[in-house]
Amino acid sequence: MNNRDYISSIITQFSGRNNIIPIPVIYLEITEDYPSAALLNQMIYWSDKTSRKDGYFYKTYNEWFEELHLTEYQVRRATKKLNSLGFVETALKKANGAPTLHYKVDTTQVSEWILKKLKNGNLTNLRMETEETQESLTEITTEITTENNISASKNAQDSQLINEFNEWYELYNKKKDRKAAFTKFKTARKKHTFEVIMKGTKEYLKTITNKQYQKYPKTFLHNESYLEDYSDSYVNAEPLTGNIFDELRNEYK
């Protein structure tokens, strides 16, 4: 026996009856409070037991208290709320020779509310799921697009850099350690424009009459020799010997 059945057996043993009133959750969702949900549940139950053709039945406040343990105030308040929702009608009709408050449940209205609630709940959940899915797809699409744009931009920049280096390397005409030269060229391009590098290189090459004394590509770029002023450096170089020759040779390596 599970805990629920065990407790139920104790209630039956000591009270002589199993007074358990299950309340559908949908009633709680519609009425938004326990007294109204409990009263609606019992009213629907008693509406099937009435012998009146007009669907009305009556209950005293004492009877409601015995069934639901609701006070007269709670029953009045809950009845007013159910009436405002269109679920219950009240009328004074004779019972046992005296005017007595009768209740009538509009099952059609209750059913419509339940269906509407369930439908809206499903549509809300579906809408939320759809919106979440669309949001996720938008985020993913945006992320992919951004990554693609970054990748495309990077590829374009890399391609442009390679083309610029090839043009510069072809111009420099002293081919030595191309890979190292490219690394130095990339560093140079981060600080100076391609036009500045090309212009300075052309000016430098005008001063070279003997390729033997031309700086290696990586050295030229590393020292940023393209920024120097070569306007007064056009000389006709002659073979050098001794210490001066050694110094120049070391400089141009």
Question: Is 120 inside any structural domain?
Answer: no
Question: Is 117 inside any structural domain?
Answer: no
> Do 94 and 14 share a structural domain?
yes
* Encoded tokens for 38: 């409990």
* Encoded tokens for 49: 């037991």
- pLDDT tens for each residue of 84-115: 999 999 999 988 888 889 999 998 898 888 88
Domain carrying residue 206: 158-251
> Do 73 and 162 share a structural domain?
no
> Do 162 and 98 share a structural domain?
no
User: Above 90 in pLDDT, residue 76?
Assistant: yes
> Do 93 and 12 share a structural domain?
yes
Question: Is 55 inside any structural domain?
Answer: yes
pLDDT of res. 247:
54
Could you please report the per-residue DSSP string of 109-146? HHHHHHHHHHHHHHHHHHHHHHHHHHHHHHHHHHHHHH
* Encoded tokens for 217: 């590509």
Spacing of C-alpha 72 from chain mean position: 50
Residues 6+ apart with CB under 8 A from 249: 213
Question: Is 190 inside any structural domain?
Answer: yes
pLDDT of res. 120:
72
Domain end call among 70, 105, 140: 105
User: Above 50 in pLDDT, residue 130?
Assistant: no
Closest C-alpha among 223, 153, 230 to residue 181: 223
Burial 52-79 (b: 16+ CB within 10 A, else e): eeeebbbbeeeebeebbebeeebbebbb
Asked whether the beta carbons of 182 and 165 are under 8 A apart, the reply is yes
Question: Is 116 inside any structural domain?
Answer: no
User: Above 70 in pLDDT, residue 64?
Assistant: yes
- 206: pLDDT confidence band, cut at 50, 70 and 90? confident
> Do 91 and 173 share a structural domain?
no
> Do 165 and 233 share a structural domain?
yes
Q: Specify the DSSP class assigned to residue 209.
A: S
Classified as helix, coil or strand, 230 is: coil
- The Cα–Cα gap between 113 and 134 comes to 30
Spacing of C-alpha 249 from chain mean position: 64
Amino acid at 39: L
Question: Is 124 inside any structural domain?
Answer: no
Amino acid at 74: Q
CATH number of the domain within which 72 lies: 1.10.10
- List the beta strands (DSSP E) in the chain: 57-58, 88-95, 98-105
Spacing of C-alpha 2 from chain mean position: 43
User: Above 60 in pLDDT, residue 122?
Assistant: no
> Do 9 and 101 share a structural domain?
yes
pLDDT of res. 133:
45
Question: Is 235 inside any structural domain?
Answer: yes
First to last CA, the chain: 95
> Do 99 and 178 share a structural domain?
no
Q: How many domains does the chain have?
A: 2
pLDDT of res. 209:
82
Question: Is 132 inside any structural domain?
Answer: no
> Do 101 and 8 share a structural domain?
yes
Asked whether the beta carbons of 18 and 12 are under 8 A apart, the reply is yes
pLDDT-above-70 percentage for the chain: 69
Domain end call among 90, 105, 120: 105
Mean pLDDT of 199-224: 86
User: Above 80 in pLDDT, residue 155?
Assistant: no
- 10: pLDDT confidence band, cut at 50, 70 and 90? low
**Arithmetic mean of pLDDT over the chain:** 78
> Do 16 and 83 share a structural domain?
yes
- pLDDT tens for each residue of 162-185: 888 888 888 887 777 888 889 999
pLDDT of res. 123:
41
User: Above 80 in pLDDT, residue 52?
Assistant: yes
